[in-house]
Structure formats: structure tokens, C-alpha cells
Amino acid sequence: MIDKIKVGDFLIVQRQKYTKLQKFNNLNTIVNLGKDQVELRLAENHPYHTTFHLVPKQERGKRIYTLDALSTPSEIRNLKELLIKESGNDNRNIIDDRQSQALSTEEILKLREECESSSEVIGKLVENSKSFATKTEYSQEKYLKRKEKKYFEYITIRRPSIRLLADIYWRLDPEKVLGVRFDTLSQIISYSGVCSVGNYLLYESGTNGLLPAAMLNAIGAETGGKLVHLHPGNVAQKQALLAMAYPAEQEARCVSVNIYSVLRHFYQTKADATNGKEAAAEEVNDVAVVTADEPAIVEEKEEFNGTSKRKLEETDEGAQGTEAKQIKLDKQKQSWELENETAASIMEEKFDSLVIVAKEHPYSILKALLPFVKPSRPIVIFSTSREILTECYVDMKTEASVTYLRVTSNWMRQYQILPNRTHPDVTMSGSSGYLLTGYTIGN
């Protein structure tokens, strides 16, 4: 079955290397790509990964486009083959005097309105450039890429994935995901040992749902794994979780609750249960004492069967009334209370790993959640500050509650892979934070 674009889906709109997350709310949804506005109406019922041609609408002063699906991606013209006919040996004689382009800005804007495709606009710019033919082949390719990026008229609509979402959030603002880069995210999933079986505990204080979405993706659909997602606010951030559009049964196995609320509920329930057992034991002792002191009483049978039947019916009605009251009480409970009960029941079973990604100092959170982790299970703590994790390292070493402690940091550099021009990218992101990993020790 081919997965098709539907109203209500989250989409990844890709234009060359630029990607944007957009929700397809209704048929009038418009996505903004720079100064261009693209109507998504005609994308409905097309398969994902379809490439669309941007068709301009005749509206003066506005750059609004509709979509026209391409039958094959080969319809996109290769500008390098079309326009590079001769090249120079080097660029030593080229002078950047801003006079190489014969067309004025007004003429270029007019061309853009008149020409049917971006390749025609770029072709006219190349024809009217005095220095294009004397540039080296590499310089010509860079010039075409720069112009193609500005006038490119094709977009591809893709289904959201963890990698694409991580890249989009990181590019927009690393703080949106607490500084977790996609390579660090993959290491968190790997160190925590998330798989299709077991219970997993996650605390995160604002990653737009990227961490729970990634862990739930690793757990998979139609499996026995469960995830308890703790957060400090009233409402959990779930944009990435919603964008992934997991099946209902898979999404139901991720329980998002406030950390303070669920801990209070867990310990109160435990205290009430303990008090209830003590009260029941006292009542049993009292009954035993009374029975020993009083003579035995022999019950007489009812003379008439009708009386016995009536008493049984009254007892059944009383039981049904109690059940109805209990159902009514359950309906009156708010959703967060039901989620707290579900999370507390999983917490009683204990967890197979613990992941903490927090803005706050993580040690107090770790101390509160460590009792819920089974022995010999992994814990992973992420922070953008090495000093914070060093403090946690020393404290845990002192308490001897976690062994095999390691503080690690990722260093990643992307490479440009082109013929005769393979080299590291000139710009790169610095550190993506630090990870403190270890394994719990049983009592």
C-alpha cells in the first residue's frame, strides 16, 4: 500500500537542501519558502517523496505558486550540461567590479515574470554575463548552484523522520532541542539500550518532543515496550511526536506526565496501601479476640425460599450500584490523573533504563528517579556543560550507586564529496554537549 499525503498530516517540504516542517491543516494551507508562497491544495492524495513543479499564479506583486506533480524526476533539467560549454584555466584576470552582468535588476525581475522556468532565467543571466565563459569549470558550477538556489522551481514532499526533524530543529535553533545534535541523539538511544521489550524512563525539559519520538521509534510498533515520559511543565512538548504520526497503539505506550505530580501520586498511593494493610490487620486481630470471648451462634435457615431469594436479589443490586458508582468516579477523573495512575503502575514494575536531558542540574532528578531503575541497567545523562556532569560523576562515585561511569563528548565534521574537491566543510558546529553514562548497582 502506497503511503499518500492526507489533510491533517505533518509534511517535510524540501527545496534543494532546505527543509521545513509544515502541518497540512486543510486544503487552503500555504507554506512560506523565503519570499515564495506555495499552495499545498494539489498535493493531496499524491504519494510521499513526489517532486512537484512550482507553477506561478498570475497575481501582481505576489509570488504565489501552485503544484504540478512530475511524472519522473528526470524532467528537472541539468543546468551544468545545458550551460557550461567552455571554461577558463584560472580566475586571475577576472575583476569583481559589479559590471559583469549586463542586465539590470528591473530587467531580471521582468524576466522572472515572463519566463516559464527557472532554467530559462538562469540561461539569460549566463548569456548576459561577461565573465562566465572565462571562469574555471568549478567556478561556473558554483555560480550555477548559487543562481539555481535562488530560482529553483521544484519541491519534494517527504514524510517526517527522526533524522529530518533533528536536522530541522538544530538548524532553526539548537536551544529548541536543548543542544542535542542528531549524532548525540543516536548515541543517547544506543547507550540507553532502548529496544522492543522493557520499560524505559525519560526525563526531558523541552526538546519539542524529539527525545520521546526517537525513543518510541526505537521501541517500535506492535511490541511490548513502554515509555514513561516525564516533564516539568503542565503540558508536554509533543510536536515531533505528533509529526511522526505513530499508530494509536504505539502512541498509547508513551505516557507523558508531570514529574512532580506522578511522584506525589506514587508515594501517596504507596502510603495509603501501607496504612490500609495495617488497619486491616488490626481489624482481623479485633475480630479474633471477640470470637474467642463470645459463644458460637448457629444461624437458622429461612422457612420460606422467597425470603432468601429476595435477600440475594437485594445483595446483587447493592453490588451493581457500587460498580456503577466506581465507573462514575473513573469518568469524573481528569486525563492527567488517569495518566498518573498508568505511569505509577509502570513505575512499580521498575525500568530497564533511565535517560535525563535537562536544563536544570540533573543530580536531584537522578536521585529521585534512580530507585525506579532495575539493577545492572544503563543510565544516560546529557548536558551542554561538562562541569555539571563532572559534579554528578563525583557524587555518584561517592555514593557507589552507579558503576562504570564515563563522561564523553562527540566531535563531528561533515565533508564535501565532489570530484577533485573532497574536503571538510569550512564551517562546522562545535560541541554538541556531553554524556554521562553508567550502570546501576543492586542494593
Contact 144, 97 (CB under 8 A): no
The pLDDT score that the predictor gives to residue 290 is 42
Contact 17, 44 (CB under 8 A): no
Largest CA distance in the chain: 123
Q: E strand or H helix at 279, and its extent? A: helix 259-293
Residue type, 359: K
**Can you tell me the distance from the alpha carbon of 54 to that of 77, in angstroms, rounded to the nearest whole number?**
14
Q: Helical H runs in 32-104?
A: 79-83
The pLDDT score that the predictor gives to residue 411 is 83
**Can you tell me the distance from the alpha carbon of 73 to that of 333, in angstroms, rounded to the nearest whole number?**
54
**Can you tell me the distance from the alpha carbon of 64 to that of 38, in angstroms, rounded to the nearest whole number?**
6
Calculate ∠ Cα 294-300-302, nearest 5°: 145
Q: Which of 71, 70, 33 is nearest to 53 (CA)?
A: 70
List domains and CATH numbers for the chain.
4-74 (no CATH), 78-152 (no CATH), 162-261+335-440 (3.40.50.150)
Q: What is the pTM of this model?
A: 0.80
Contact 1, 151 (CB under 8 A): no
Contact 88, 134 (CB under 8 A): yes
Contact 137, 84 (CB under 8 A): yes
SS3 62: coil
Q: Which of 275, 254, 151 is nearest to 194 (CA)?
A: 254
The pLDDT score that the predictor gives to residue 257 is 95
pLDDT in tens, the chain (443 residues): 468 999 999 999 999 889 999 999 999 999 998 888 999 999 999 999 999 988 888 766 678 889 988 876 554 556 665 667 667 777 777 777 777 887 888 888 777 777 767 777 878 888 888 777 788 878 888 888 888 777 788 899 999 999 999 999 999 999 989 999 999 999 999 999 999 999 999 999 989 999 999 999 999 999 999 999 999 988 899 999 999 999 999 999 999 999 999 999 999 988 887 776 666 556 545 544 444 454 443 344 444 444 544 544 555 555 565 665 555 555 577 888 899 999 999 999 999 999 999 999 999 999 999 999 999 999 999 999 999 999 999 999 998 889 999 999 988 888 888 888 888 888 877 778 899 999 999 76
> In angstroms, what is the C-alpha Rg of the chain?
33
